Structure 1
Amino acid sequence: MPGVVKWGLGIQWVGVAFGAFALILGLIGLLAVAGSGDAAVAGFVGIMLAVAAIMLAIQVVVLVFATKGRNWARIALAAIAILGIVLSLATGQGLNFGSAISILSVALLFMPDATAWYRARSGQR
């Protein structure tokens, strides 16, 4: 596995760790909101946390396959990154740190050495 793939996937795994930490903080916030008695807000926050947890789980599964050299998983990681950036822009957050590391990791995964490695891994099956 070339270094650019290791770095690209490593950055993605760091992003997953940050995402898991954010989910924990979100759950703590949900408990605080639920304790305030505002059921509508608590329901909305709960739905948003559930969607985030599902997206994080999908990212973990895709990362495992990308680590095994599956080219479709590399493409899926790019799609997930693009979706995250679009959602970040749509919600008014702009390009934040998460967006920056997503762009960096995807760029690394599509460097020539990475592309050659993924092609070679696809040919081995």
Structure 2
Amino acid sequence: MSNPDEAPQPQQPGAQPPQPGNVPPAGYQPPQGYQPPQGYQPPPGYQSPGQQSQPGQYSQPGQYSQPAAGQPGGFHFEMPTDGPRSFNDVLPQGGFSGMFKTQGLPTELKVSYFIWVISGLVGLLFGLIGLFAIIAAFAFIPALAAVALVLLLVSLAVAAAQVVLAMKMKEGKEWARLALTAIAAVSLVLAIFGSINMGGPSTGLGSNWFGFLVSAVAVVLMWLPNSQLWFKAVKGTA
């Protein structure tokens, strides 16, 4: 008859690492600093705590899992720290050949990007058409035509800038996103001044309230939580 004190005690979870060929029990946590013996193969689907991915994070752009319920993911504004240091930093990488390529972007940023690019190109087109009307107006109302010309030149500059900035935003540049937000505010000012000049020649984007509303939608999409997480992921891998 064996002594009860000499009976083997049940093994405590985590007291001894599993040996080769043994399957670790559910909830098993290896001791800190433990290295598995040579030749040990974990069972299929087993992940150590350090290998488990956290929800709401990008492993790389384009691979995103929605944050779990109760996890923070709302709006949080921070001043960008990736501002351009030279003129070359402002130009899109690879030129304008990849203008319509949006691989890796979340849906919100894809929609926002195409809004900026298409509205910018349309603004350039209508601005050039309006330029001919303003030139003809100089023969009849030179003072009003001069004001309209200034507004048109600003509108053309804004339209060209938003195309370039949208391409930089697509690269994950937070400063470009902030600049596009400022452009939306400039579009509002141009719309106000353009509406005051309703009796004069057309100034293109300057009198287009619809253009401002579209840019406002693009701004909101850039600052949604899913877009915020993508910018942080790109910034972390840069």
Normalising by structure 2, what TM-score? Answer: 0.47
For residues 40-95 of structure 1, the C-alpha deviation after alignment (integer angstroms, 9 at most, x for no partner) is 34433332222222222222221121111101111111111122124424554798
Paired residues of 2:106 and 2:230 also in contact (CA < 8 A): yes
Which residue pairs with 2:134 in the alignment? 30
Which residue pairs with 2:168 in the alignment? 65
Normalising by structure 1, what TM-score? Answer: 0.83
- Residue 101 in 1 paired to residue 214 in 2? yes
Deviation at 1:98, TM superposition (A): 1.1
Paired residue type of 1:56: A
Paired residues of 2:111 and 2:218 also in contact (CA < 8 A): yes
Between 54-63 and 101-110, report the one with greater CA deviation: 54-63
Between 38-47 and 2-11, report the one with greater CA deviation: 38-47
Paired residues of 1:89 and 1:95 also in contact (CA < 8 A): no
Structure ID, larger Rg: 2
Which residue pairs with 2:149 in the alignment? 46
Paired residues of 1:85 and 1:95 also in contact (CA < 8 A): no
Which SS does the other structure have where 1:69 is aligned?
A: coil
- The gaps in structure 1 that reach 5 residues or longer are none
- The gaps in structure 2 that reach 5 residues or longer are 1-104, 197-206
Structure 1 residue runs of 4 or more that deviate by more than 6 Å after TM superposition? none
Which residue pairs with 1:12 in the alignment? 116
User: Take 2:135 and 2:219, find their aligned partners in 1: how far apart are those partners?
Assistant: 35
> Greater RCO between the two (CA within 8 Å, min separation 6)?
1
**In structure 2, do the counterparts of structure 1 residues 95 and 48 end up closer, same or farther at CA, with 3 Å as the change threshold?**
closer
Which structure has more helix as a fraction of its residues? 1
Deviation at 1:113, TM superposition (A): 1.1
Which residue pairs with 2:223 in the alignment? 110
> How many residues get paired?
124
**In structure 2, do the counterparts of structure 1 residues 28 and 95 end up closer, same or farther at CA, with 3 Å as the change threshold?**
closer
Deviation at 1:37, TM superposition (A): 5.3
Alignment RMSD? 2.3
- Residue 77 in 1 paired to residue 190 in 2? no
